[in-house]
Amino acid sequence: MGNCCCRGSEAFEGDFVGFDLTGPNDPKVIAQDTCFTEDEVYALFELFREVSTSVVADGLIHKDEFSVAIFKTSQINLFVERVFELFDTKRNGVVDFGEFVRSLSVFHPQAPLRDKVDFAFKIYDMKHTGVIEKDEVFNLLSALLHENPDLRLPKEAVADLVDRTFQEVDISKSGYISMEEWHNLCSQNPTVISYMTLSVLKELTTRYPSFVFRKQT
């Protein structure tokens, strides 16, 4: 694809020193597993290299690097914890190149809607019970609102918002939101997971992937 045939040339070898791009981290393998082309995977490597060397130059993304790069904050809140945990599929406390690109693929505009819905469900399912409970929504929503001074609400107002949401979504009146109920909500109101699509991921080979590392002014 494109200029991928020259990726193994001497001109590129120096760029990969200290990074594991073999086995499941091989860009060709990653491209087969994701919505990205091989050229786009290499474009994402440029981003990964910057993020993974911003604090600890070990070719891996640590939680503090992830927080600053993705969310523009050094404060690791509950939402950051949840997203990082989902990217860290090996559960070893760091994110390697393969994990990074494969997890990012779900945000691609061409990624299946079901994958986006399932990923968003996992963000809320903090206890890994297969359902979304009220306290999970309350805690996550409180963490998100705390990061935005303009949207901070009293705990009572947040609790009321969560109660009203459950009254609408929890059709079975079970006290929690099942995967089926979550899928129904997202199909009827796609804006609920609009954050799961990053249109800029379609432009990786024509612009530097600064959608994550862009400095705020």
What pLDDT, in 10s, does the model give residues 161-187?
999 999 999 999 999 999 999 999 999
CATH of domain 113-196: 1.10.238.10
Cα 137 to Cα 143: distance, rounded to the nearest angstrom = 10
Q: What is the pLDDT of residue 18?
A: 67
Cα 128 to Cα 166: distance, rounded to the nearest angstrom = 19
29 close to 191: Cβ distance less than 8 angstroms:
no
Reported pTM = 0.80
Domain boundaries, the chain: 21-110+198-213, 113-196
The tokens for 30 are: 């990653």
Report the mean per-residue pLDDT for the chain: 83
Cβ-in-10-Å burial (0-12, 13-18, 19+) of 184 comes to middle
Mean pLDDT confidence for 2-23: 54
What SS3 class is residue 132?
strand
pLDDT band at 80, cuts 50/70/90? confident
**For residues 206 and 26, which has the higher predicted lDDT (pLDDT)?**
26
pLDDT band at 151, cuts 50/70/90? low
CATH of domain 21-110+198-213: 1.10.238.10
